[in-house]
Structure 1
Amino acid sequence: MPGDERTTTPRLEQGLSAADVAQRVAEGRTNDVPPRASRTVWDIVRSNVFSRINAIFAVLLAIVLSTGYLIDGMFGLLIIANSVVGMVQELRAKRTLDALSIVGQAKPRVRRGGATTELAPNEVVADDVIEIGPGDQIVVDGKVLAGDGLEVDESLLTGESDPVGKHLGDHVLSGSYVVAGVGAYRATKVGREAYAARLAEEAGKFTLVNSELRRGIDRILRFITFLLVPAGALSIYNQLSGDQALPDALRGMVAALVPMVPEGLVLMTSIAFAVGVIRLGRRQCLVNELPAIEGLARVDVVCADKTGTLTENSMRLAEVHPLGKIEVPPEQVLAALAALDTRPNPSIAAIARDYPERPGWEPTAVAPFSSARKWSGGSFANHGDWVLGAPDVLLEEGSAERDEAERIAGRGLRVLLLGRADGPVDRPQAPGRVTAVALIVLEQRVRPEAKATLDYFAKQGVSVKIISGDNAASVGAVAGSLRLPRSTEPVDSRTLPDAPDHFADAVERTSVFGRVTPEQKRSIVHALQRRGHTVAMTGDGVNDVLALKDADIGVAMGSGSPASRAVAQIVLLDNSFATLPYVVGEGRRVIGNIERVSALFLTKTVYSVLLAILVGVPGLIGMDVLPYPFLPRHVTITGWFTIGLPAFVLSLAPNNERARPGFVTRVMRTAVPAGVAASAACFASYLLAREGQQPNYIDQIHASTAALITLMTVALWVLAMIARPYVWWKWALVAGMAALSALMFVLPLTRELFLLDPGGYTETLVALGCAAVGILLVQLGWRISGRVAGTALSDR
């Protein structure tokens, strides 16, 4: 049977043949979990077309069309606009995410027919033999076939951070990753049977879940729902209980209800996020979780690993510095140790490049490199026991050799100690006493873009902390060359206090940390979070995984380990630290601009609700019923020129202001005073133009036009204030909207089409006078709200 131990064991070294693979594909025993990508085309179409807001507008459109006044149904175009614009942007974002996800996904090394090749995860089949090494993610469940010092971290599944040793016959679970050693395992459970398959499916969807911005908008929409029910009911009662003809009453009712719905708010939010994905995709930045765009805008501390982030991932062997009497040439030992590692890290790879000749020593014990212990080693028959690692870990404090290593590291170089251990390297107490033989000096190249990136964060008020497993002096020298603040005081993490409060104090005042273990990296992130910071962690290695997972935002390099890419919300596929400012900028653009357009949409909702109440109250208390001042066509053009078009432009504009908490409160402090003032001024203009009479058809048009002039003037003022600070295109935007609004009242065609007639100069002056009073009330309301609780959004 396929998968039976007896049929697969004899061929483990070769892996499956092409015929074996074809048989398993035919049987459906494939790893058919969908790749990390966006949702389906149908999901996008369904969510954009069959939305609650579109359903409300469809019902109102049917009511208006039943009256025969087709032009009053222009607001129905919003159904098409909401659907088409949202679908187009999200489909573009889907294409970007799908393409980048394929580029950025982990590719397991699968042994088939005696050869090893990299395959996409969904090409793995049952019984495949998969080779693994440090940093590799376990893509399917399996059983270990071979291992050499193999250690697996299952913290992403179990929460336990201690590595688990894996031996022949042990089970490995998808979602875990290798922290040390090499080996191979046979796939036993693939596809949706694998342990982490369900989690992987959910992780890559195009979603705004856990977004503070989205939660804020949901709160606002719930608040609006409470307002809509009484205001809508009052409007319906008022318009249908008067002596108007039924078609006119229905048009008035629809005109009152349509502007109460903030139809573009959710749409603009989706567009802003989708455009952010597209823009970042052009910079080879994969966003695994969309809230990460928003989250980076809130970041005030960036924790960066040195290697692969500030410096190039590759290294060069600069010098072998002998120490004392040498019995065996260090070059031979280094070549022998390099030959043991089939998946070398950058340090071992640099040594292997310079010493490719293997001495042929027979290994009797191997200790693979681990970020926790910071050394590796090998025991060789007749050639002794050797270790290669951090001098300040392997040597006693105060030794001359360790002091020499510190001096060299102070120049920004990486220094390793080659030493002889006093016993086999696989002993529990290894390495024991180490005799220093030579210092291995490696050079790292600082990334050319690193300084500009650090300068950007400094200007933006974002603190940068360098967290590295390297020697503290070496890390401090690199940070000092980039002029990072407080880089002259690097701290060895082994000296950090254990008490949580003292530990957090030390983390707060320190910028450079050396000799940090993976667990300590996570502790540093936790300490900063407990102090109220929003933390981003950047890294590329398996030693960064724990911190990447627990940081508010995890940013991995595209060339980093599959495990680091799997847990990060953002992957920089171009491996450039300089891309990070653009990611931060996109987050700030999204949040800042959505905050602005939210204020516009909610101002409209507030004045629409209040105006419906003001118009409906006289009928409730026994006075003459007032017809609603506007027709549906009037509220449509008001929405076009004071909210819709400007909001679309502003939602895509640059915005570098750092996000602040209190989104809902700030938006409401802007929208409520503006909405109250606009509704009061509009209602006053309407009453003054009517002069308390029972107007005829022409007089009603005059009164409606006067009220519309007042409303649009105040709304344009709100737009002008929210659009600040000004640049040339914002001046052009506000001036263009004002000009288009004015033309609606001047051109004969639009006056006839939209039933606009302000009457004489007196009515127009009264309307503009009411608008001036409304503008003063808006400014007064903003000033009061600003004094009560800080600066309002409009005061930016």
Structure 2
Amino acid sequence: MNTTDKTAATQQGGTDLESMPVDGVLKQLQVDPAKGLSAAEVEKRLKQYGPNALPEKHVSLARKILKYFTGPIAFMIEAAALVSAFLGRWDDFIIIFGLLVFNASLELWQDMKASNALAALKKSLAPHATALRDGALKTIDAATLVPGDMVRIRLGEIVPADLRLVSGDYASIDQAALTGESLPVAKKPGDEAYSGSVVKQGEMDAVVIATGANTFFGRTAKLVAGAGAVSHAQRAMFQIGNFLIAVAVVLALIMVAVQVWRDIVVAENWGLADALDILQFVLILLVASIPVAMPAVFSITMALGALALSKEKAIVSRLASIEEMAGVDILCSDKTGTLTKNQLSLGDPILLEATDPQDVVLAAAIASERENADVIDTAVLAALKNPVARDAYHVTKFTPFDPVSKRTMAEATDEKGAALSVAKGAPQAIVDLAKPAKDIADKVEQSVADLGKRGYRALGVARSTDGGKSWKLLGILPMFDPPRDDSEATIEKVRAKGVSVKMVTGDDTAIARETARQLGLGTNIIPAAEAFPKDMDPDNVPAKIADSIEKADGFARVFPEHKYAIVKALQQRGHLVAMTGDGVNDAPALKQADCGTAVSGATDAARGAAALILTAPGLSVIDNAIDEARRIFGRITSYTIYRVALTMDIMFLVVLSTIFLGFQPLTAIMIVIMSLLDDVPIMTIAYDNTAVSKNPIRWRMPRLLSVSAVLGFGSIVQSFGLLLIGFAVLDHAGASAWFGITSKEHLQSVMFLQLVAGGHLLLLVTRTHRWFFEPPFPSRQLAIAIVCTQALAVLMCGFGWIVPQISWTVIFWVWVYLLAWLVILGAVRVGMERLIDNRLDRRARLAEIVNAPLHQHGHLHGG
């Protein structure tokens, strides 16, 4: 392998350049740190490695749009539209095609929202960089950086690529958005700096070791681009569509076979007109069988639910996440800023050579900057009980923190002109400076160890009054990011809803364990770097690791691929996972999770990847979101059962009446109008009063289709029974004259009224597991929509608008018939629910017996 090829391999893999000595890195990348690369060499390497930018995969708009017109339901809608056009039924065609375009528009809008994650990540990359080219420092486009470029990073700048720091005193770099660490990290020569992190203090020179997709940031973006799963709502629609299509195809074949047999064998007459008649029957069945409005009803119902969630301080960016949140059984929560306040606070000082705790705090405050205060300085200054006391000291010299001495120092004079020196920093660094007696040094070591076990950081403080010749080690300041006041209570509420909570953080294990203990999460915290092999495929987590992930209470020292792997492993075990986060490092896991949730103050990348965006801090919003999501899911389930049962009713009525009675009970336009009257007002189901489930709820298709099928069968009996009664009235001259049903067209209006009115009465049965006359009662919006629709259907039939006119007497008796069947179908629904629940209870008890230890079955053996 030649040098150039080897450089490419190390830049692609990154391992050697990340760990080898800096001199070796410079030699490997063939660069002189005093001159940098030449323009010719940069051009050569740009062709080899490509630009320092995230790769984009372009998909044409036409291809995107075409995707929205594919799928089982879309194909059936298109078939119905084509048949309508072929037969010249342009009113049917316009309505059906309009629904198809509306559904596709909703999906296009959702896809455009989903692409925001990658766009936000790209915005986070540095637009410019200061690079050494041909011996001179130049400001260049960061996209032109190549491995081997020498760059300079300064205060306030975004690190433009993955770097190894070569020279300079030190730099403090905030990489929290990438790694989740709650404090900026002090860097020294030889350390690595990640692309996308921010320089908070200092200035250093560095060499570029990775660019574009090969950077730490680029690998995160690649995970985001590959993350995501088809929502359970989409799968449910596919399954429901496939079920209805299968039933429709079988019924269509039966109907066509019977009609062809009648025309050819019985009537011995076959022509184009007969073929068109059969095609017309198939059209009616297609229009009847396809829940054309189902995708729109799902989307609009969830959109109205999203509006309700926005009032709970949760913004929905992916509608399907509402339905996913209802079934979530594991919540992986970010620690910093979500479970904790994301602000360091000082505990009670541990006194060593000081007698007053505030003396220790005051000395530390003098050694802190007010103007460019970092989080530690802010915490120290906030801990002063008397802030004015700090004003009595005039700082004459300040030495900022650097990773070599690991301390800050200040020289000051008090209001009387007396000089003093103060220092604060890592306890061992302060011990080395003060050189205290052995018993004090031992106490420092023991105190730091004890604080570390409890998850506290420690800050040593010393003071000198003789110009730094001798120092007093005043004490140790414990520092901790405290839990939010509402976190523990919220976790308990979420757990009571059947949702397990796991903490995920980039902080050290001891800090994570102490935070988890205070929140009552448990202390089984796994250090991710130890649990996950470095070369592990995050999409295929080994079973042993997946077992430990399921059992863990939380994870520490995690990187983006770890968070992603945690979510993916839990999903592969059958869990629905919600993930909260706020940084770039959280974006892959947020996008992969069933309900990725960006917390208050999250980065653009996190918001773009998330399905739910919280606008209020803490987890309490999640608790409210779960309740609202379960209400919304209950409404969607109610609609689904109603729609499947009603669709079966219409399909079987058309086929059975065609085969056995030779009668077309509905015209195509009746079916289209009926679909609109049944579906459009039902969108107000988004406002319905729904009981909140105590446990996570999911799409259980066998149960849902079983209940739908039984209610559908009952509805078929109801509709076909009324049709038979109608035929009996037609055959009886006296009854026919009294009711005013003198033709089969009148009978079609009767069936139209029965299906519209009966459909909405069926919704009263499907919207609750209990009797329809028990609470929760329908909401005002839903009740008004149903009453208005019923009134419109009655007026259409009573005055002959669009459909043949029938008498008010007939309308009255149809309603009496429907109300009687409402009670019958209500009894069927309650009976089905009790039967299913009893079977589930028996299975649960059997599972408990099978899984119980053998000694618990001693009574079976006479023990």
Q: State TM-score, norm by structure 2.
A: 0.61
Report matched runs for 1:770-781 at 5 Å. 770-772=817-819, 774-781=821-828
Contact 2:289 2:648 in 1 (8 A): yes
Aligned to 2:702: 665
Q: Distance in 2 between matches of 1:300 and 1:478?
A: 22
Quote how far apart the aligned CAs of 1:516 are: 6.6
CA displacement, residues 153-188 of structure 1 (integer Å, 9 cap, x when unaligned): 9xx99xxxxxxx99989999989999xx99886556
What is the aligned partner in structure 1 of residue 714 from structure 2? 677
Q: How does 1:75-474 map to 2 (within 5 A)?
A: 76-84=94-102, 86-87=104-105, 89-90=106-107, 93=110, 107-108=124-125, 112-113=129-130, 124-127=143-146, 190-191=211-212, 200=221, 203=224, 209-239=229-259, 241=262, 246=274, 250-271=279-300, 292-300=321-329, 302=331, 304=333, 307-316=336-345, 320-324=349-353, 346-347=375-376, 350-351=379-380, 358-359=398-399, 364=404, 383=433, 396=446, 416=458, 418=460, 438-442=475-479, 457=494
Indicate the SS of the match to 1:440: strand
Deviation at 1:789, TM superposition (A): 0.6
1:650 aligns with 2:685: yes
Alignment RMSD, CA only? 6.4
SS in 2 for 1:309: helix
Matched residues in 2 for 1:362 and 1:465: separation? 36
CA distance in 2, matches of 1:685, 1:735: 22
C-alpha contact 2:54 2:122 (8 A) present in aligned 1: no
Q: Distance in 2 between matches of 1:196 and 1:521?
A: 14
Cα contact 2:289–2:647 (8 A) shared by 1:
yes
Deviations 1:459-499 (A, max 9, x none): 756566778867799859975xxxxxx69xx86969xxx9x
Q: What does 1:666-705 correspond to in 2, within 5 Å?
A: 666-691=703-728, 699-705=743-749
Q: d(CA) in 2 for partners of 1:417 and 1:314?
A: 16
Aligned-pair CA distance for 1:627: 2.6
Deviation at 1:699, TM superposition (A): 2.0
* CA distance, structure 1, for counterparts of residue 618 and residue 487 of structure 2: 9
Counterpart amino acid of 2:748? S
Residues of 2 paired with 1:92 and 1:167: CA distance? 47
Q: Secondary structure at the match of 1:112?
A: strand
Whether the 8 Å CA contact 1:306–1:466 is kept in 2: the answer is yes
Give the Å deviation of 1:80: 0.7
Shift of residue 744 of structure 1?
Answer: 1.7
Q: Which residue of 1 aligns with 2:835?
A: 788
Three-state SS of the structure 2 residue aligned to 1:312 is coil
Partner of 1:593: 635
Quote the residue 2:80 is aligned against.
Answer: 60
**Residue in 2 that maps onto 1:627:** 663
Deviations 1:219-258 (A, max 9, x none): 3333223212211122334456457964655443322221
Alignment match, 2:53:
31
Identity of aligned residues (%): 18
Q: What's the counterpart of residue 425 of structure 1?
A: none
CA distance in 1, matches of 2:671, 2:292: 13
Match of 1:709 in 2: 753
2:796 is the alignment partner of 1:744: yes
CA gap of 1:477–1:113, structure 2 versus 1, over 3 A, is: closer
1:565 CA displacement: 7.8
The amino acid across from 1:681 in the alignment is: Q
Report the Cα offset of residue 83 of structure 1.
1.3
Structure 1 SS opposite 2:53: coil
What secondary structure, in the 3-state scheme, does the structure 1 residue paired with 2:475 have? Answer: strand
Alignment match, 1:424: none
Counterpart Cα distance in 2 of 1:723 and 1:16: 73
Distance 1:152 1:267, change over 3 A: same
CA gap 1:81/1:531 in 2 versus in 1, 3 angstroms: closer
Q: 1:314-359 CA deviation, whole Å, 9 max, x = no partner?
A: 2355765432479xx97899699989xx996x44653489999634
Measured in 1, the distance between the counterparts of 2:317 and 2:755 equals: 44
Q: Name the CA shift for 1:783/1:276 in 2 (closer, same or farther; >3 Å).
A: closer
In the TM superposition, residue 641 of structure 1 has moved relative to its aligned partner by 1.7
Give the number of aligned pairs.
695
CA distance in 1, matches of 2:687, 2:64: 21
- Describe the SS at the equivalent of 2:341: strand
Asked if structure 1 preserves the Cα contact closer than 8 Å seen for 2:590 and 2:596, the reply is: yes
Distance between the aligned counterparts of 1:659 and 1:473, measured in 2? 27
1:649, 1:599 → 2: CA distance? Answer: 16
Conservation of the 8 A alpha-carbon contact between 2:68 and 2:107: no
Letter in 2 for 1:626: G
Partners of 1:175 and 1:694 lie apart in 2 by: 85
Q: How far is the alpha carbon of 1:645 from its aligned partner?
A: 0.8
Q: Tell me the SS of whatever aligns to 2:253.
A: helix
Offset of residue 381 of structure 1: 12
Deviations 1:374-420 (A, max 9, x none): x967759973799xxxx999854xx7x988999xx9xxx96735399
Task: Report the Cα offset of residue 635 of structure 1.
Answer: 1.1
**Could you say if the C-alpha distance between residues 637 and 535 of structure 1 is closer, same or farther in structure 2, counting changes exceeding 3 Å?**
closer
Please say if residues 100 and 281 of structure 1, whose CA atoms lie closer than 8 Å, have aligned partners that are also in contact: no
Q: Distance in 1 between matches of 2:288 and 2:282?
A: 11
**Residue identity in the other structure for 2:460:** L
Answer yes or no: is the 8 Å Cα contact 1:682–1:770 preserved in 2: no
Mapping 1:582-621, distance limit 5 Å: 583-584=625-626, 587-588=629-630, 590-618=632-660
CA distance in 2, matches of 1:175, 1:585: 37
Alignment partner of 1:609: what SS?
helix
Equivalent residue for 2:783?
731
Q: Which runs of 5+ in 1 are unaligned?
A: 116-121, 158-164, 369-374, 421-434, 480-485, 619-624
Q: Deviations over 1:415-449 (max 9, x none)?
A: 735399xxxxxxxxxxxxxx996231458677577
Residue 719 of structure 1 pairs with residue 763 of structure 2 = yes
Q: 2:677 aligns with which of 629, 641, 653?
A: 641
- Whether the 8 Å CA contact 2:325–2:629 is kept in 1: the answer is yes
| Structure 2 counterpart of 1:746, one-letter code | G
Q: Secondary structure at the match of 1:262?
A: coil
Q: CA deviation at 1:77?
A: 0.7
Moved more, 679-688 or 97-106: 97-106
Deviation digits for residues 198-238 of structure 1, max 9, x if unmatched? Answer: 88367359x97343333333233332232122111223344
Give how far 1:592 is off. 2.9
Aligned AA (1:126): L
8 Å CA contact 1:607, 1:675 repeated in 2 = yes
Letter in 1 for 2:129: R
State the 1:631 CA deviation: 0.7
Q: CA deviation at 1:458?
A: 7.2
